[in-house]
């Protein structure tokens, strides 16, 4: 839960009373970066992306990522409508999400109480004198759903009306600046003198300003964007000429020619996408230089170090590790069950390539249906099944495995042998004893282990032994 | 401070964790490096890979999603589209610019709007339906074409081996 607050994305809506907002929000996000459209632009093929994202894509292969048709950076046009929708949606998001979550919780905790509330609300609705068709329709529709057919003739499930969330009494209008409700014919006069009060709810003055509010009543005329930079013919430029160009632009001019070119291209992407920004959010050159520096550290000349350190503070790694672990466990548990079924049908000591093993798939399927083992892809393992968490008990297996893997890595073989030699049951018993000790690596807490590579390909190797033991115990 | 690549990878990870496709699990190996993932893919039903769980690693480039990751199985996978070293060779893992398999449609290849999830699903369906037109493993491709029984026997053997049987 906390996670979704830290890293908002469209899936936040799934568990609310407004799951339909999930696809809505997804549609307001760029398909390249998965963020809300930032300075959206539309291509000549009518696809919309963040300006910076599409510029980088075009720089990489000259094509629209959505439809693969040829694209040119100088044909990109700001998509102002999308920009506005995204901005307003973001402004409304947290409140809406909060309400939708609360609504869901309420309805889950007290369905009965909630129903009562709705009925009271409906009674209240009888009172007001002003009633538009929209409201009547909605009320009737609701009654039609819950109470039965008394109102049937009036139940008009008009989707247009239903969408009318911003109910305004007849003849009334809202000031677009201060959101105040007033008689419609007064709005135009009011707007001319509106100070943005009360509550400074004006969405137009997003940034606090020292100007007297009276001067902000009208949005300032948009200033023309600074003109875009054009590309260079790098082949025609010597390294020193290119360096001079970069110095003239005020960006770093160190590094090889290849790096100079990449840096210049990225600067064009950053600079030109800023030209596609609305005036309210257009950045200063200083900020752009900071972005170039960020690029330099992650992809440019200083990009040797590993990153994603940020995630640590934003991300409940433990929570995800747990979720992740249980998914791995489920997969492994399922495979293990089937393996168990296979093994029962198979005489010991058989090697994998013996020809008479061929018909074995049939019996194996049969067995897995006759034992309580569910089919891996149709059902999760039953919670009480002994095999559901195979690694809970054999955690010390990892040390053996680790040794094996180390050995495999040392010999530098492309295929570390994963086969667990079919040895005598004595050997297996010994191994099992070893396994029943501590294990804290791998699936127990994937994020703690230095690398899950070890358990990743070692763990599937071991369950066999465990299979035997659990079979024996049963 | 982080790159757009790791942010995007993180979002994909979050999506995959909260709503994983059937038979597929994937995530970064450690929290400290979003650019190295591991994945487990279940062998599709009705194929000789059925019953197996195949671990693989995914390495993402710093400019992801402009360029695709590389994917490599960490166990033996005998398959026309898997190199003997485990590297997976399918169209979605190839950037549009480079076309080692000339028959490929540009539309099947990598694009920044593709995703880890789509890759893993493609790999799952690759296991079920090999493409032997320009194989990564020539021997496996020939065997798949000419001696299907033997091919399937080897695959089943690898499945058991990967489970330690
Ligand atoms: Zn974007
Ligand atoms: Zn397009
Ligand atoms: Zn206009």
Better-scored residue on pLDDT, A195 or A390: A195
| Interface list for B 19-58 with A (CB within 8 A) | 19-20, 22-23, 25, 27-35, 38, 40, 42, 45, 48, 50-53, 55, 57
Q: How many CB pairs under 8 A join A and B?
A: 223
Residue A432's pLDDT is 45
Comparing C-alpha atoms, which of A345, A372, A376 is closest to residue A361? A345
Look at A131 and A123; give whichever has higher pLDDT: A123
Give the start-to-end residue ranges of the domains of chain A.
10-37+79-163, 172-210, 234-307, 339-448
Query: Contact at 8 Å (CB) between B70 and B37?
Result: no
Are B2 and A310 inside 8 Å of each other by CB?
yes
Mean pLDDT of A388-405: 35
> What pLDDT, on the 0 to 100 scale, is given for residue A431?
45
Lookup: tokens for A299: 């992809």
CA A248, CA A242: separation in Å to the nearest integer? 10
Q: What is the pLDDT of residue B43?
A: 94
Which residue's entry shows tokens 């401070």?
A: B1
What is the pLDDT, as a whole number, of residue B1? 41
Which comes out higher in pLDDT, residue A460 or B64? B64
pLDDT value at position B23?
A: 93
> Nearest to residue A81, comparing CAs of A72, A89, A73, A69?
A89
pLDDT for A175 equals 66
- For A291-349, what is each residue's pLDDT tens digit? 999 999 888 877 754 444 444 444 444 454 555 555 556 655 655 565 555 444 444 44
Residue A149 confidence (pLDDT) above 70: no
Model pLDDT, residue A187: 66
Report which of residues A232 and A210 the model is more confident about: A232
> The whole model's pTM is what?
0.57
Please report the pLDDT score of residue B163 as a whole number.
Answer: 81
Chain A interface, best mutation among B112, B143, B154, B157, by max A CB count within 10 A: B112
Q: Which residue of B has its CA nearest to A468?
A: B165
B61 interfacial to chain A (CB closer than 8 Å):
no
Higher pLDDT, A56 or A355: A56
Q: Using a pLDDT cut of 70, give the percent of chain A over it.
A: 38
Q: 68-127 in B: which are within 8 Å (CB) of A?
A: 74-76, 84-86, 95-97, 106-107, 111-113
What are A278's two structure tokens?
A: 């609305």
Ligand number nearest CA of A84 is 3
Whether residue A151 has pLDDT greater than 70: no
How far apart are the C-alpha atoms of A17 and A26, rounded to whole Å?
A: 17
Residue A108 has pLDDT above 60, yes or no: yes
pLDDT > 70: what percent of chain B? 91
- Cα of A412 to ligand 3 centre, how many Å? 65
Q: Is the pLDDT confidence value at A207 over 50?
A: no
Q: Which residues of B are catalytic?
A: 89
Tens digits of per-residue pLDDT, B87-100? 999 999 998 665 55
> What's A228's DSSP letter?
P
CATH number of the structural domain spanning residue B153 = 3.10.110.10
pLDDT band at A395 (very low <50, low <70, confident <90, very high): very low
pLDDT of residue A385: 36
Cβ–Cβ gap B67/A60 under 8 Å:
yes
Cα-to-centroid distance, A458 and ligand 1 (Å): 39
CA distance A271 to A250: 12
The number of beta carbons lying within 10 Å of the beta carbon of residue B106 is 16
Q: Ligand 1: distance of its center to the CA of A50 in Å?
A: 4
For residue A209, the distance in angstroms to the closest alpha carbon of chain B comes to 28
DSSP states of A110-142 as a string?
-HHHHHHHHHHHHHHHHS-S---HHHHHHHHHH
Give the residue from A426, A415, A428, A413 showing the smallest Cα distance to A463. Answer: A428
Q: Is there a contact between A298 and B86 if contact means CB atoms under 8 Å apart?
A: no
Interface probe for A, chosen from B39, B42, B53 (most Cβ of A below 10 Å), is B53
- Asked whether the beta carbons of residue B18 and residue A11 sit closer than 8 angstroms, the reply is yes
The pLDDT assigned to A356 comes to 41
Residue of B nearest to A323 (CA): B17
pLDDT category at A131 given cuts 50, 70, 90 is very low
pLDDT at A153 over 50: no
Q: Which residue has the higher pLDDT, A150 or A182?
A: A182
Whether the per-residue pLDDT at A448 is higher than 60: the answer is no
Q: Do A460 and B163 touch (CB under 8 A)?
A: yes
- In this prediction, residue A223 has a pLDDT band, given cuts at 50, 70 and 90, of low
Candidate from A68, A312, A320 with C-beta closest to B17: A320
Confidence grade of residue A79 (pLDDT, cut at 50, 70, 90) = very high
ipTM: 0.81
CB contact under 8 A, B40 and A331: yes
Q: Give the E-state strand segments of A16-108 in sequence order.
A: 40-42, 48-50, 77-78
Backbone angles phi, psi at A222, to 5 degrees: -65, 135
- What phi and psi, each to the nearest 5 degrees, are found at residue A385? -65, 140
Q: State whether A364 and B51 contact (CB < 8 Å).
A: yes
> What is the spatial distance between Cα A279 and Cα A277, in angstroms, rounded to a whole number?
6
Q: Is the confidence at residue A374, as pLDDT, over 90? A: no
Task: Indicate the pLDDT class of residue A122, thresholds 50, 70 and 90.
Answer: low
Continuous H helices in A345-396: 361-370, 390-393
By C-alpha distance, the chain B residue nearest A305 is B33
Q: What is the pLDDT of residue A168?
A: 59
Q: Are B32 and A309 in contact (CB under 8 A)?
A: yes
Contact (CB<8Å) A377/B3: no
**pLDDT at position A65:** 94
Q: Is the pLDDT of residue A193 over 90?
A: no
pLDDT score recorded for residue A330:
62
Of residues A330 and A252, more confidently modeled: A252
CB within 8 Å: A462 and B53: no
Q: In the prediction, which pLDDT does A227 show?
A: 87
pLDDT (tens digit, 9 = 90+) per residue, A16-56?
999 999 999 999 999 999 999 999 999 999 999 999 999 99
Q: Identify which of B3, B27, B23 has the alpha carbon closest to the alpha carbon of residue B13.
A: B27
Residue A44 per-residue DSSP state: T
Span from the CA of A392 to the centroid of ligand 1 (angstroms): 42
Least confident residue range of A33-42, A120-129, A318-327, A431-440: A431-440
Domain that includes residue B62, residue range: 4-162
Q: What is the dihedral of CA B117, B118, B120, B125, to 10 degrees?
A: 140
The mean pLDDT value for A270-295 works out to 92
Nearest-5° Cα angle at B35, B32 to B39: 100
Do residues A122 and A143 touch, judged by C-beta distance below 8 A? yes
Least confident of A65-74, A289-298, B94-103: B94-103
Determine whether the interchain pair B156/A360 forms a contact, defined as Cβ–Cβ distance below 8 Å: yes
Q: Tell me the nearest-neighbour CA distance from A239 into chain B, angstroms.
A: 24
Q: How many CA atoms lie within 13 A of A87 on its CB side?
A: 16
- The average confidence (pLDDT) of chain A is 64
Mean pLDDT, chain B, rounded, equals 89
Q: Scan for tokens 């880890």, then name that residue.
A: B116
Please judge whether A311 and B6 are an interchain contact, meaning their C-beta atoms are less than 8 angstroms apart: yes
Span from the CA of A270 to the centroid of ligand 2 (angstroms): 21
pLDDT in tens, B1-31: 467 898 899 989 988 988 889 999 999 998 7
Q: Which of the residues A397, A404, A452, A463 would you substitute to probe the B interface, choosing the one with the greatest number of B C-beta atoms within 10 Å?
A: A452
The distance of B67 to chain A (nearest Cα, Å) reads 9
How many angstroms separate the CA of residue B140 from the nearest CA in chain A? 15
Give me the pLDDT at residue A28, please.
Answer: 97
Spell out which residues of chain B touch residue A460, defining contact as CB-CB under 8 Å. Answer: 53, 55, 75, 162-164
- Greater confidence (A430 vs A295) lies with A295
- The whole-number pLDDT of residue B162 equals 79
Q: What's the total number of domains in chain B?
A: 1
How remote is the CA of residue A48 from the centroid of ligand 1, in Å? 9
């Amino acid at each position: 839960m906390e996670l979704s607050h830290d890293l908002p994305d469209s899936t936040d809506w799934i568990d609310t009373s407004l799951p339909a907002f999930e696809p809505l929000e997804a549609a307001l996000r760029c398909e390249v970066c998965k963020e809300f459209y930032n300075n959206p632009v539309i291509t000549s093929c009518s696809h919309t992306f963040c300006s910076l994202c599409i510029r980088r894509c075009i720089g990489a292969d000259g094509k629209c990522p959505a439809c693969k048709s040829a694209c040119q950076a100088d044909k990109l046009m700001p998509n102002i409508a999308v920009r506005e929708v995204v901005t307003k949606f973001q402004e409304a998001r947290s409140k809406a999400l909060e309400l939708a979550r609360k609504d869901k919780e309420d309805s889950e905790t007290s369905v009965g109480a909630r129903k009562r509330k709705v009925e009271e609300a409906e009674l209240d609705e009888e009172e007001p004198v002003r009633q538009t068709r929209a409201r009547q329709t909605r009320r009737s529709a609701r009654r039609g759903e819950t109470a039965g057919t008394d109102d049937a003739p009036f139940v008009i499930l008009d989707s247009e009306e239903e969408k009318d969330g911003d109910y305004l009494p007849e003849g009334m209008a809202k000031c677009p600046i201060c959101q105040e409700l007033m008689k419609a014919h007064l709005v135009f006069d009011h707007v001319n003198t509106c100070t943005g009060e009360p509550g400074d709810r004006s969405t137009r003055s997003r940034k606090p300003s020292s100007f007297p509010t009276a001067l902000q009543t009208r949005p300032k005329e948009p200033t023309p964007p600074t003109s875009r930079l054009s590309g260079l013919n790098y082949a025609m430029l010597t390294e020193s000429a290119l360096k001079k160009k970069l110095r003239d632009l005020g960006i770093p001019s160190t590094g090889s020619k290849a790096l100079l070119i990449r840096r210049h291209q990225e600067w064009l992407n950053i600079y030109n996408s800023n030209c596609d920004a609305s005036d309210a959010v257009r950045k200063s050159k200083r900020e752009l230089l900071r972005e170039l520096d960020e690029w330099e550290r992650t992809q440019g000349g200083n990009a040797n170090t590993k990153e994603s350190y940020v995630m640590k503070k934003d991300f409940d790694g433990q929570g995800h590790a747990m979720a992740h672990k249980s998914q791995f466990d489920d997969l492994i548990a399922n495979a293990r069950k089937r393996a168990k079924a296979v093994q029962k049908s198979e005489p010991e000591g058989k090697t994998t390539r013996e020809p008479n093993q061929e018909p074995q798939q049939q019996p194996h399927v049969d067995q897995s249906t006759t034992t309580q083992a569910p089919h891996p892809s149709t059902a999760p393992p039953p919670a009480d099944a002994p095999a559901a968490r195979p690694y809970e008990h054999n955690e010390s297996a990892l040390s053996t495995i680790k040794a094996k893997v180390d050995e495999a890595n040392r010999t530098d073989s492309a295929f570390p042998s994963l086969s667990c030699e079919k040895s005598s049951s004595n050997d297996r018993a010994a191994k099992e004893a070893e396994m029943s000790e501590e294990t804290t690596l791998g699936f127990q807490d994937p994020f703690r282990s230095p690398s899950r590579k070890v358990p990743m390909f070692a763990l599937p190797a071991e369950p066999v032994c465990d299979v035997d033991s659990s079979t024996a115990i049963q | 401070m982080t790159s757009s690549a790791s942010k995007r990878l993180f979002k994909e990870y979050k999506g995959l964790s909260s709503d994983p496709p059937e038979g597929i699990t994937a995530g970064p190996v450690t929290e400290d490096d979003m650019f190295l993932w591991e994945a487990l893919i279940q062998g599709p039903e009705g194929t000789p890979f059925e019953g197996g769980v195949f671990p693989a690693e995914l390495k993402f480039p710093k400019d992801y999603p402009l360029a695709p990751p590389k994917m490599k199985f960490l166990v033996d996978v005998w398959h026309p589209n898997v190199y003997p070293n485990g590297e997976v060779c399918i169209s979605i893992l190839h950037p549009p610019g480079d076309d080692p398999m000339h028959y490929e449609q540009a539309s099947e290849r990598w694009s920044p709007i593709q995703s880890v999830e789509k890759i893993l699903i493609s790999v799952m369906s690759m296991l079920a339906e090999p493409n032997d037109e320009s194989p990564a493993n020539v021997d496996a491709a020939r065997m798949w074409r000419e001696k299907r029984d033997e091919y399937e026997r080897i695959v089943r053997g690898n499945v058991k081996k990967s489970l330690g049987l």
